Chains A and B, each alone.
Chain A
Amino acid sequence: MLDNPAKPLVSVRDLKMHFPIYSGLLRRRVGEVKAVDGLTFDVMEGETLGLVGESGCGKSTAGRAVLRLYDITGGQIAIDGREIGDTPQSQLREMRPTMQMVFQDPQASLNPRMTVEAIIREPLDEHTTLTPMEKRKKVAKLMDAVGLNRKFAARYPHAFSGGQRQRIGIARALALNPKFIVCDEPIAALDVSIQAQVVNLLEDLQEKFGLTYLFISHDLSMVRHIATRVAVMYLGKIVELADRETLFAAPLHPYTKALLSAVPEPDPALARNTNRIILQGDVPSPSNPPKGCNFCTRCPAVMDICKQVEPEYREVKPRQFAACHLYNET
């Protein structure tokens, strides 16, 4: 990708996704899980935005909400210049070819009773008017693109290994020439030696087809490899967003610092010298987040104000956004 002033392909403003909790005899609404609570970010054309965080932080929900796989609670989402935040699902169908998703578990996301060809062809059946012959050609091309042998088109998913199944999922996502793909933990279920194969494939495809990725992962070292910019989520909110180099070299938010220091370093000489920040306790429940800053219950640098006032998410340094009172001059 050229480094000309990039324009955002995806623009998310104050995105909220709350799930209601019903309880009691009358199934009354007693509260809500604030899985995603006010996300604002852009994904530039041709870039990979890494979205990282621990389980339960809302990163997968965020990815699904951006594609409108849910009816969102609030906020705006613009993809390729079109606002889809409140578009009814029926009208979203025509937008679907632009935006696709690669799922975490290639075992669960492929129909075991469909052949590989049928799986990859399904989006073409749904959204195009190609003839059967054209579809067959397109499927074969897609299989080439993701490195699957054309001869295996008539086989079923169970005959493939995890890495190959993920390639099938990627081919399906590519079928309609999308611009934007949400990759939800695409390598989490794969073996170490296979992860690198899939990541390299995603990078090659991005270059070849000019794709834009939202890459959701809990694996920080892999995100450092693939992402252009990285957003860190904690309990439904983005706590920090910055260019890759900045985020890994000079993180601002105490949670980012702790998260980075917790990643095991694959070098015994370094691993034993680094001073780890060991966070105490667990992530609070998103149905009952603490008052003030969401991270105040575990933050090593917590101040009085953190327990009262929610910090504003703002550009602390050029191109580096954070939501933390430590960087508010008062």
Chain B
Amino acid sequence: MPHGTLPVLDVQDLKTVFKTRAGEVHAVNDVSFHLQKGELLGVVGESGSGKSVTMMSLLGLLPMPPAEIRSGRVMFEGQDLLTLDPKGLRSVRGARIGFIFQDPMTSLNPVFTVGHQIAEPLRKHMGMSKKRAAERSIELLELVGIPDAGRRLYDYPHQFSGGMRQRVMIAIALACDPQVLIADEPTTALDVTIQAQILELMKELRDKLGMAVIWITHDLGVIAGIADRVMVMYGGQVVEHAPVHELFANPQHPYTSALLKTIPSISGKRAARLTVIEGQPPLVLGAPTSCPFRDRCAQAMPVCAVKVPPRYDVGEGHDAACFLVDPLEVANAG
């Protein structure tokens, strides 16, 4: 492990499959990553890249069947989350690992007040009294910047705007002082000016509370502004992983470089034509036997069709799963 310190969360070779009538969909293939204290790890990928399923797997939130976790280890506070029984998992989830989902409208229960929903984890996990939980709920709402928190406690979710609802979700996730916060596209449903508010808030909270954050998004712009390290996923695999500056300045995987080129920028020179990645993201049926990106890759070599590329180290804390970075394979391809 880099930095010599023990990571808060350490995921090794996680493999999740879905059994469908068409066959086994290998949604997560040998995904490994770790998370240091106080660090913000960005996870980028398109829909179907396996980024959300990875996080749901480690929280035990996938319906099984059809899902099945084939192998892997998820070390958190000295125990493997994958070996915990449902009760054990519940004591971790929402307490020491908090999470936020994409859509703040559907993740809150419309028939309970916001105060009730924030107090729920406090009473359940921390054994707080009703009164103490209400006090703490007010503190939390103030922490996430909801004005007039004492009164808003008694409001229902529909009385909040989208941005405010997402703040409530963050307050719930933070309720029990989690070590790790997993945020799955938390700003995708929000407008840019509201997104900017939430991103500022997250940075502030991370510095103040020192928790580690996993931030899942498809928006490279958001990643550039907030992440320390970035993991790029494609077809259920980690294709590249690097510190944020390194990834944007020196991408090694053809998918990462293509992705960086497809997004138009708001400043700088305007391209006459957008670069496109031709084709569609893959659906990985059966165990992968090749590079998931090879059909869309302009630099694909014969070896890409017969082997899954391993994650090669290409620099300080930087790895890429591509045969192009292996001089031996490139030489073989002639």
Contacts and interface: CB of A to CB of B under 8 A. Distances in A.
Q: Do A and B bind each other?
A: yes
Contacts of A220: 192, 266
B46 A191 contact: yes
A191 B274 contact: no
Contacts of A262: 192-193, 195-196
Interface stretch (A1-9, A18-26, A60-68, A197-205): A197-205
Given A218-B192, A263-B192, A266-B248, A193 B262 contact: yes
B259 A193 contact: yes
Interface in B153-210: 161-164, 191-197, 199-200
Contact of A264 (B197, B224, B244): B224
Interface stretch (B213-221, B306-314, B326-334): B213-221
B43 to A, nearest CB: 14
Contacts of B111: none
Interface stretch (A76-84, A166-174, A276-284): A276-284
Contacts of A305: none
A316 interface: no
Nearest to B244: A268
Interface stretch (A32-40, A92-100, A115-123, A221-229): A221-229
A269 interface: yes
A191 B163 CA distance: 23
B87 interface: no
Nearest to B219: A264
Contacts of B47: 191
Main secondary structure of the interface of B (DSSP, over half): helix
Interface string A177-195: 0000000000000011111
A266 B260 contact: yes
A286 interface: no
Given A220-B266, A282-B164, A225 B192 contact: no
Interface stretch (B9-17, B98-106, B133-141, B276-284): B276-284
Nearest to B47: A191
Nearest to A53: B191
Contacts of A126: none
A161 interface: yes
A224 B270 contact: yes
A267 B192 contact: no
B225 interface: yes
Nearest to B247: A268
B53 interface: no
A200 B276 CA distance: 8
A282 to B, nearest CB: 5
Contact of A265 (B163, B224, B275): B224
Contacts of A225: 264, 270-271, 274
A88 B273 CA distance: 41
26 contacts: A54-B193, A54-B194, A193-B258, A196-B262, A196-B275, A196-B276, A196-B277, A199-B274, A221-B264, A224-B264, A225-B264, A248-B266, A262-B193, A262-B195, A262-B196, A264-B224, A265-B266, A265-B267, A266-B220, A266-B263, A268-B224, A269-B245, A271-B225, A278-B200, A279-B197, A282-B194
